[in-house]
Structure 1
Amino acid sequence: MVGRADDAAWRPYEDGGSIGWMGTQGGTIARDEDFGGLARLTYELDDTRSFHAIACSVTGWLLYHRFFDNAAAATAAFEEMKPALEALLTQLPEGGPTSPANTRLAGPLLAAFTVRHG
């Protein structure tokens, strides 16, 4: 299982260097945080079109987007996904999908995460 380093914590991705850049969904990156190089949450927004998106990734396993029409809902989701991603990391096989067996193990875990945070 992907271990959690003792010093792992959510930190600004690239020391905040991505803030203000265009995100993958066409909004401006407002928050971008990384957890030990294993998980990442990116929040982008475009108030001209009431657009708020969160990109969630787990290295080797998941890239998932959520969309919102207001900042309050997006910010709440961003915060609630952090502990959920940390818990998911403790259950996933380390190194990504390296065998049919660990892919079968991870599939239901990833599906449950996306349903819960959908």
Structure 2
Amino acid sequence: MSTDWKPYEDGSSLGWMGSQGGTIARDEDLAGQVRLTYELDDSRSFHAITCSVTGWLLHHRFFDNAEAAAAAFDAMKPALEELQSQLTEGGPKSPAEARAGGPLLAAFMARFS
């Protein structure tokens, strides 16, 4: 498993509006399967983190300050690496795989809610 996070699409998404309506300030990808995006809008004290694991998870978190959002962004990276290592690449290939992934996804979301 690679733990080499890279700028998503070579950084071309930075400065654009993100899915939660803020400006994308950080956007990183791991092995084309995991993405972590940080958006902000200082005019309304809005900070959002969106993470995804292809075929498995899309999860949003919201903060009212940059420090908490930046700390969460960094804390989520190793947890996403661990989660990805336990899931089938691209999503479940059977109902049994989906059921096995459920508790892993639930634990991640409970930890990072």
Q: What is the alpha-carbon distance in structure 2 between the residues aligned to residue 37 and residue 95 of structure 1? A: 10
Q: In structure 2, what residue type is equivalent to 1:44? A: E
Which of 10, 29, 41 is the equivalent residue of 1:15? 10
What is residue 115 of structure 1 aligned with on the other side?
110
TM-score (norm. length: structure 1): 0.93
One-letter code aligned to 1:106: G
Give me the TM-score of the superposition, normalised by structure 2. 0.97
User: What is aligned with 2:82?
Assistant: 87
* Deviation (angstroms), 1:35: 0.4
**Conservation of the 8 A alpha-carbon contact between 2:54 and 2:89:** no
Separation in structure 2 between the aligned mates of residue 94 and residue 71 of structure 1, nearest angstrom: 32
Larger relative contact order (CA 8 Å, sep ≥ 6):
1
* Structure 1 match to 2:31: 36
**Alpha-carbon separation, structure 2, partners of 1:61 and 1:31:** 22
Report what 1:65 is aligned to. Answer: 60
SS in 2 for 1:92: coil
Matched pairs, number: 113
Note the aligned Cα RMSD (angstroms): 0.9
Aligned-residue identity in percent: 72
